[in-house]
């Protein structure tokens, strides 16, 4: 009888060990992700600096900056949806800085009904964070040539279309025209590691219960 129970017992112990190890690994990933998010929040909230002369997509990611200049009126709208407002647009505008650089500013969210309203061309001081969006994949449609609507923030393509540097400042403060800022924060970064850990531990508990039930039935049948 004991020999017959050894194989399912070993199989059960092995399965439990694997599932528990996966749960522990997710807890380790949770600690790592929380550290990353804390560092990200600290960087986002730091004091702003001048635009770097040669920005780097890795070194300068989320770098807080301040720039002054004038909006040129050249802009494009990226389709986006917000929970409280529904469909709308991210307004991406060209800012010609006081030093003559042409950079892009993500001014924030504009409701769909306000898209056709003329926007003011004026001097502006903007404070925000440098972002290199990663929103384009093989399923992203190209910009609609008739409506001029874009479906993702493709930085290199937007910069080429607006004849500006591939440098995007996501504004923290209002820039006018009824556009609501959508500042950078860590809430958009997913952190589901705790849920994953709980799932693995529950599966380990179920596996243990099923193993115990199987061994109990084998023993009962033998008796």
CA distance 195 to 124: 44
pLDDT at 63: 93
The one-digit pLDDT tens for each residue of the chain (223 residues) are 566 667 777 888 888 999 999 999 999 988 988 887 787 787 888 899 999 999 999 899 999 999 999 999 999 999 998 877 778 999 999 999 999 999 999 999 999 888 888 888 889 999 999 999 988 888 899 998 888 899 999 999 999 999 999 999 999 989 988 899 998 887 766 778 889 999 999 999 999 988 888 878 877 776 6
pLDDT at 146: 83
pLDDT at 120: 83
Helices and strands, number each (H, E), in the chain: 3, 6
Cβ density class 45-78: b for 16+ within 10 Å, e for less: eeeeeebeeebeeeebebbbbebebebeebbbbb
pLDDT at 33: 83
pLDDT at 3: 67
DSSP state of 49: B
Owner of token pair 């950079």: 103
Which residue ranges make up each domain of the chain?
2-40+190-222, 63-183
Give the CB-side neighbour count of residue 209, counting CA atoms within 13 A. 6
116 Cβ neighbours under 8 A, 6+ residues apart: none
* DSSP one-letter string for 154-166: -HHHHHHHHT--S
Give the CB-side neighbour count of residue 18, counting CA atoms within 13 A. 7
pLDDT at 223: 63
CA distance 203 to 12: 12
pLDDT at 20: 92
Helix, strand, or coil (residue 130): strand
pLDDT at 70: 95
pTM to 2 decimal places: 0.76
CA distance 73 to 122: 9
Furthest-apart CA atoms within the chain: distance in Å? 90
Query: Of the candidates 108, 154, 149, which has an alpha carbon nearest to the alpha carbon of residue 135?
Result: 154
Query: Of the candidates 53, 91, 78, 49, which has an alpha carbon nearest to the alpha carbon of residue 177?
Result: 91
């Amino acid at each position: 009888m004991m020999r017959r129970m050894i194989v399912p017992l070993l199989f059960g112990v092995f399965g439990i060990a694997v599932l528990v190890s996966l749960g522990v690994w997710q807890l380790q990933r949770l600690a790592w992700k929380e550290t990353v998010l804390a560092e990200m929040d600290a960087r986002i909230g730091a004091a702003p600096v001048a635009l770097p002369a040669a920005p780097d997509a890795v070194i300068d990611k989320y770098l807080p900056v301040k720039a002054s200049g004038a909006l040129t009126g050249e802009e494009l709208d990226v389709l986006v949806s917000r929970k409280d407002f529904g469909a709308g647009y991210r307004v991406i505008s060209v800012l010609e800085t006081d030093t003559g650089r042409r950079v892009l500013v993500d001014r924030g969210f504009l409701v769909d009904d306000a898209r056709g309203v003329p926007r003011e061309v004026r001097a502006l001081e903007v404070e925000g964070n440098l972002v290199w969006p990663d929103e384009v994949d093989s399923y992203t449609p190209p910009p609609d040539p008739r409506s001029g609507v874009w479906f993702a923030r493709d930085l290199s393509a937007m910069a080429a279309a607006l004849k500006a540097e591939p440098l995007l400042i996501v504004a923290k403060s209002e820039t006018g025209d009824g556009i609501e800022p959508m500042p950078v924060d860590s809430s958009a970064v997913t952190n589901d590691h705790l849920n994953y850990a709980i799932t693995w531990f529950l599966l380990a508990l179920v596996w243990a219960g099923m193993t115990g039930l199987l061994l109990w039935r084998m023993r009962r049948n033998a008796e």
